[in-house]
Amino acid sequence: MKKLKNFLKRHQTVAAILVAVLSSLVWAILQTLLNRVNFFDAILDLPVKLLSFVWSFLLLDIPVWAIIIGVGVITSGFCLYVRAFSTSEQEGLIKDYTSDSYKGQKYKWNWNKNQMHDLRPICNDCSGELIPDNLTGYSAWLLCPNCDKRYKMTDETALAHAETYFTNRANRKSEELKQAKS
């Protein structure tokens, strides 16, 4: 469920289309059950109902109080949406924290919202990206193509420990910023 939520946050157009399709299907199912209308007739009737609504809105058959309430609800929803998806200045400062060292090894990563991703070791000397050293077909070593320095391959456990360490440091920096602003 968390993956779906993250996907829909990143692809808001897909989310809007999905909501429109699902609401149309729910409306058609309700019309089928309540009015005993054929499901496909209810689906085909939806554009007619929407156009009728728009037309009645244009002719101002809708009371002014309903228009004011509708505009207020839409504006409030938009403000909540912007607030929920906007990044604060503090998050921007933490997102600048994209490299550090842990147990003698330098690492680099990216941020997506408040989640660290793409954590990888980098060269301690030149900060270059490391590649597998595949001279033997299977490699337990990483090679810096810039300075030819070799490093032992980082296993998943070490990466998980490093990610936890860097996330904790980012959270501490975030808390320090909050306290400094108070």
Burial per residue of 131-161, b for 16 or more beta-carbon CB atoms within 10 angstroms, e otherwise: eebeeeeeeeebbbeeeeeebeebeeebeee
Q: Do 109 and 35 have their domain in common?
A: no
Claim to verify: residue 36 and residue 115 sit in the same structural domain:
no
**98 and 28: one domain?**
no
In a domain, 78, yes or no: no
Range list of β-strands (E), 41-154: 99-102, 105-112, 115-122, 131-132, 141-143, 150-152
Helix (H, G, I), strand (E, B) or coil at 148: coil
Residue 93's pLDDT is 56
| Residues 176 and 92 sit within 8 Å (Cβ to Cβ) | no
Residues 95 and 177 in one domain: yes
Tally of structural domains, the chain: 2
Q: Is residue 26 part of a domain?
A: yes
> What separation in angstroms does the CA of 177 have from each of 53, 115, 171, 180, 182?
50, 18, 10, 5, 9
pLDDT the model gives residue 143: 86
pLDDT given at position 57: 65
Q: Which domain holds residue 120?
A: 91-181
Write out the chain's pLDDT in tens, 182 residues.
Answer: 677 777 767 777 777 777 777 887 887 788 788 888 788 887 787 788 777 877 776 776 667 777 788 888 988 888 887 776 655 544 555 778 889 999 989 999 988 877 888 889 999 999 998 888 776 556 678 888 899 888 888 888 888 899 999 888 888 888 887 777 66
What's the pLDDT score for residue 108? 92
**Which domain-ending residue is among 61, 77, 109?**
61
Q: Which residues contact 114 (CB under 8 A, 6 or more apart)?
A: 91, 94
Residues 27, 98 share a domain: no
pLDDT at 126: 92
Amino acid letter, residue 138: Y
Instruction: Point out the domain boundary residue: 61, 81, 104.
Output: 61
Helix axes 12-35, 2-10, angle to 10 degrees: 110
Residues 54 and 113 in one domain: no
Asked if residue 75 is part of any domain, the answer here is no
In a domain, 114, yes or no: yes
Within a domain: 84: no
Q: Are residues 161 and 96 part of one domain?
A: yes
Same domain, 167 and 121: yes
pLDDT at 90: 46
Q: Are residues 95 and 173 in the same domain?
A: yes
